[in-house]
């Protein structure tokens, strides 16, 4: 638990720096480099900021036991059930916002490169329309968790010994969400709860839908950028290649650190694969993720990289000039 807290706190503090620095560079260089697309990039960076605050307010602890996985709050608000479970649901719903905003970025690039006549529709305030699907995904995921994985007396009783022996927490007092895929009846026969299974399946469906959109856009954008008949200038083609590379890396990272572990987290209880406390490796990964995400645009976008290198090289250049002047004198 100590290591989990360290990862969560370090990830939160690191994310404030890296995301803040990226937002600064977007404001400094974004108009010239990206035009209106800078608002789409900024929205994802702002989401990462929001995610870090929700994550630190939740400080989630995760456990898989039999047919149930539980995510309980371990922050100072964990005994405030009226707000605690709402925050835990927000934390889970933020997974949908991440993948859907990535899909929005890819779709925006697809329109700008492959369907420029359609992209003109989203000029000015109409650009907000591109974020409606992300909002829908967020609301759906929140609803799946709120209604399909809610805290009940049956789950509290089932988790009583588990939470007490492993984390010294009372399942009656702590705020948590937990889908329970089957429950034993009076004859100790398994009765699958298809309502809660459907809620988890809905979350998986959102991930699959967004990833399918991303893959479609990657293929179409890549083919367009490598067509010899493409009419865009070399400079425009180059910056679009940089953006595509950045987006691909920004998608691979959450697939590794967020969606693959969360997917396994959802599936394991179906087969009663109990990993117990080791599920908190997922929590540590999710805590560190937002501090790493901004590094890809900072490294892959050439203008950002040059600006950073220029800032770091200036003190050295000044020191060298001063030293040379002293030697000359």
pLDDT digits (tens, 9 = 90+) for 236-252: 888 888 999 999 999 99
Number of domains present in the structure of the chain: 1
The whole-angstrom separation of Cα 4 and Cα 19 is 22
The whole-angstrom separation of Cα 105 and Cα 163 is 40
- Note the pLDDT tens digit of each residue in 27-64: 888 777 787 788 888 888 999 989 999 999 999 999 88
Q: What is the pTM of this model?
A: 0.87
Look at residue 249 and tell me if it is in a domain. Answer: yes
- Residue 320: what pLDDT? 43
CA dihedral 138, 139, 140, 145 (to 10 degrees): 90
For residue 316, pLDDT beyond 80: no
Q: What is the mean pLDDT of the chain?
A: 86
- Note the pLDDT tens digit of each residue in 213-227: 999 999 999 998 887
Look at residue 269 and tell me if it is in a domain. Answer: yes
> What range defines the domain where residue 295 resides?
2-310
Residue 136 sits in a domain whose CATH number is 1.20.1070.10
The whole-angstrom separation of Cα 270 and Cα 204 is 14
Strands in 156-277 per DSSP E: 176-177, 182-184, 190-192
Look at residue 320 and tell me if it is in a domain. Answer: no
Look at residue 324 and tell me if it is in a domain. Answer: no
The whole-angstrom separation of Cα 227 and Cα 248 is 20
């Amino acid at each position: 638990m100590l290591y989990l807290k360290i990862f969560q706190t370090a990830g939160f503090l690191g994310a404030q720096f890296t995301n803040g620095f990226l937002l600064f560079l977007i404001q400094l260089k974004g108009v010239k480099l990206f035009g209106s697309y800078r608002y789409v990039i900024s929205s994802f960076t702002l989401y990462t900021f929001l995610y870090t605050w929700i994550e630190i307010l939740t400080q989630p602890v995760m456990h898989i036991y039999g047919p149930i996985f539980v995510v309980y709050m371990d922050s100072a608000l964990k005994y405030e059930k009226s707000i605690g479970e709402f925050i835990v649901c927000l934390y889970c719903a933020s997974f949908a916002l991440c993948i859907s905003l990535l899909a929005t970025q890819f779709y925006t690039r697809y329109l700008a490169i492959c369907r420029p006549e359609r992209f003109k529709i989203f000029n000015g305030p109409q650009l907000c329309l591109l974020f409606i699907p992300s909002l829908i995904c967020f609301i759906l995921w929140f609803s799946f968790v709120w209604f399909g994985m809610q805290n009940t007396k049956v789950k509290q009783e089932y988790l009583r010994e588990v939470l007490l022996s492993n984390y010294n927490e009372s399942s009656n007092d702590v705020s948590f969400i937990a889908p329970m895929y089957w429950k034993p009846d009076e004859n100790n026969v398994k009765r699958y709860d298809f309502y809660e299974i459907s809620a988890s399946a809905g979350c998986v469906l959102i991930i699959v839908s967004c990833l399918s959109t991303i893959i479609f856009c990657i293929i179409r954008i890549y083919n367009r950028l490598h067509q010899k008949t493409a009419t865009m200038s070399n400079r425009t083609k180059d910056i679009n290649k940089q953006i595509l590379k950045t987006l691909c890396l920004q998608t691979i990272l959450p697939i590794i650190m967020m969606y693959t572990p969360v997917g396994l987290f959802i599936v394991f209880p179906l087969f009663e694969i109990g990993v117990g406390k080791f599920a908190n490796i997922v929590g540590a990964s999710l805590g560190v993720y937002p501090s790493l995400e901004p590094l890809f645009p900072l490294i892959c976008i050439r203008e950002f990289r040059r600006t950073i290198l220029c800032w770091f090289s200036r003190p050295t250049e000044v020191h060298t000039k001063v030293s040379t002047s002293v030697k000359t004198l």
